[in-house]
Chains A and B, each alone.
Chain A
Amino acid sequence: MVTESEIKKLAKLARLNPSEEELAVLTREMADILAFADTINRNVGEAEAGSAHPRMIEWEALRPDVPAESWPTAEILQNVDGGVDGFYAVQRSKLK
């Protein structure tokens, strides 16, 4: 059974910051979801861990590593409010 403190720790790992109210709901929902996910542990007998590779389709060889032109800086900077001297400007943050 997953506890609220575990969910709090998990949220920190996932870099999420739910409110206390949301945390209670999440704890309840996660308990249900994990009980459901746990069905694989109750039935997985023939699928012993380590017997398989997660990749689905084997490919014979990786493609050659061919250097290519990088994207034009001007085009990349179109996605931000404005660049400074050809760089992406990040707002200064004060660290504790």
Chain B
Amino acid sequence: MRDFVLETAGKLRSGAVTSVALTRRYIQAIEQKNEALGAYVHPMFDSALQAAEQADERLKRGDAPLLCGIPMTLKDNICTKGALTTCCSRMLEGYVPFYNATVWEKLQREGAVLLGKTNMDEFAMGSACETGCYGPARNPVDPTRVPGGSSGGGAAAVGADLAVYAIGSDTGGSIRQPASFCGLVGLKPTYGAVSRYGLIAYGSSLDQIGPITHSVRDAAAVYDALFGADSRDGTSEQAPYADTLSAITGEVKGLKVGVAKEYFEGLSGAVREGVETAVDAYRKMGAEIVSLSLPALQLALPAYYIIACAEASSNLGRYDGIRYGKRADSYRDVNDMIAKTRTERFGKEVQRRIMLGTYVLSSGYYDAYYKKACALRSVIRAQFAACFTACDVLLAPTAPTTAFRLGYTAQNPIETYLSDVCTVPVNVAGLPAVSLPCGRDPEGLPIGMQLIGGVFDEPKILNAAYAYECFAAGQGNAEGGVA
């Protein structure tokens, strides 16, 4: 697997290419391919070229950080001062923030070149990148398939080589599942590892920002730039800094890899085979495989939807056409204005989740749903913690299937929600997880597996992921499969 970020950084440093030339090349590719792919919703070519010029000056001076001059993307729910940030919703049509998200501030300091904002499910609610107001994004591996969601635009951009890396957000798998569907690496960091300041909130106790890249080492390099406490995000943690990229050696001899049987229920045959082959690969690399059980996993999905929708109904209450949101054109009075604004400008999936959130928080149902889901969250956390006394990392599939066809998800909400079954437990527990490719199904679609660690175990999971990446490449398959 090629380290696109690290290779590009090397070329920029050696002078083999300039950031301006590279950025122009990416702009040209976006102009050619984006209409068919729908990866970008707000291209930012002029500012990208300006940033590239500044990056070239820093590179010439020799004081440029690792990510300086590298063209990249941000998901459309990450605030960028002076540039459209719409969450792919008609509600935020024309919204231009007057402040930057902390992650974007950090990347700007690194000298990152932002090519544009990428497509997503509206307000990050979806698993297919189909619910946004700008239309669907498509999977670069097979354009008749979805790229996954909600950070599908970022994954499509990286997969089609329309950006070197993408920054997404993961509330219930929105980085890992698109990475899996597009044959990429996606890291969901520990809750609190990366500041959420400037990330437009969906489920505040679940949301986390992270990278989508071509390789594990690339993901580590970008994560190192994003990591860190932020006084503007009270939930960000003062964890000791560990240089993740340097910590990656690929050595996994003696590592205890846990495999929980509950993760393997309801998988497609190809996914099961792909992930079981990866388990064998770890055995061959000298890791110890530990069989485990996480019974609460079966309840993580309903608990997740209760908590996420409850938080969404509260977070999205601000979109009333007064405080936030583009107001309805005509209305009778202020109540009519608020209802019309919200009904006309929120999409159907967003409205459905607001309704569910309102229901589980309403008098008479709060104890039965929300309070129990929160209690269950503690049980899930405790079961994960117990697992990590018996193993170092957990290995699981990222999604029960490979990428599905465009339009398929719109038919049945529960079936759509079930596609998140493997990813949501990690968000409920606040743990880090990295998804990486582990082969292809008979139709040539990528299969993804995830490595899950304890709180702030990013170096450990990325090291284990890198070991597999090297092993797969050694078997002659750069796309992760070892079969």
Contact = CB atoms under 8 A, between A and B. Distances in A.
Interface of A: 2, 7, 10-11, 13-18, 26, 29-30, 32-34, 36-41, 43-44, 46-57, 59, 62-63, 71, 75-76, 78-79, 90-91, 93-96
Nearest to A62: B234
B376 A44 contact: yes
Nearest to A9: B362
Given A10-B355, A54-B205, 13 more contacts: A10-B362, A13-B358, A16-B339, A16-B354, A29-B352, A40-B299, A40-B372, A47-B376, A47-B378, A48-B375, A56-B205, A56-B381, A90-B322
Contact of B360 (A37, A47, A76): A37
A10 B364 CA distance: 13
A26 B352 contact: yes
A40 B303 contact: yes
A51 to B, nearest CB: 5
B247 interface: no
Given A15-B339, A44-B376, A79-B96, A94 B303 contact: no
The secondary structure that dominates the B interface is: helix
A36 B367 CA distance: 17
B256 interface: no
30 contacts: A7-B355, A10-B362, A14-B313, A14-B357, A15-B320, A16-B351, A16-B354, A18-B343, A26-B355, A33-B352, A36-B414, A37-B305, A40-B303, A40-B369, A47-B379, A49-B372, A51-B375, A52-B379, A54-B374, A56-B429, A56-B430, A57-B430, A63-B234, A71-B98, A75-B98, A93-B333, A93-B334, A94-B332, A96-B332, A96-B333
Contact of B359 (A34, A40, A90): A34
A14 B354 contact: yes
Given A51-B378, A56-B191, A56-B430, A29 B413 contact: yes
Interface in B200-251: 205, 231, 234-235, 237-238
Contact of B413 (A16, A17, A32, A43): A32
B434 interface: no
Contacts of A37: 302, 305-306, 356, 360, 369
B414 A32 contact: yes
Q: Which of A33, A79, A95 has the most CB of B within 10 A?
A: A33
A50 B378 CA distance: 11
Contacts, number: 153
Contacts of A53: 374, 378
Contacts of A49: 367, 371-372, 375
Contact of B98 (A33, A46, A56, A79): A79
Interface in B344-386: 346, 351-352, 354-360, 362, 367-369, 371-379, 381
B425 interface: no
B332 to A, nearest CB: 8
B455 A57 contact: yes
Pairs A-B, 5 closest by C-beta atoms: A52-B378, A17-B339, A54-B374, A56-B430, A47-B375
Contacts of A94: 332-333
Nearest to A55: B205
Interface string B166-183: 000000000000000000
A41 B334 CA distance: 39
Nearest to A52: B378
A14 B205 contact: no
A41 B358 CA distance: 18
Contacts of A50: 371, 375
A53 B376 CA distance: 10
B375 A33 contact: no
B436 to A, nearest CB: 25
B35 to A, nearest CB: 30
Contacts of A51: 375, 378
A95 B333 contact: yes
A41 to B, nearest CB: 6
A93 B331 CA distance: 9
A16 B342 contact: yes
B372 A44 contact: yes
Interface in B300-325: 302-303, 305-307, 313, 317, 320, 322
Nearest to B97: A79
B372 A14 contact: no
A93 B238 CA distance: 48
B302 A40 contact: yes
A62 B186 CA distance: 31
Nearest to B317: A15
B116 interface: no
Nearest to B98: A75
B282 to A, nearest CB: 29
A93 B372 contact: no
Contacts of B351: 14, 16, 18, 26
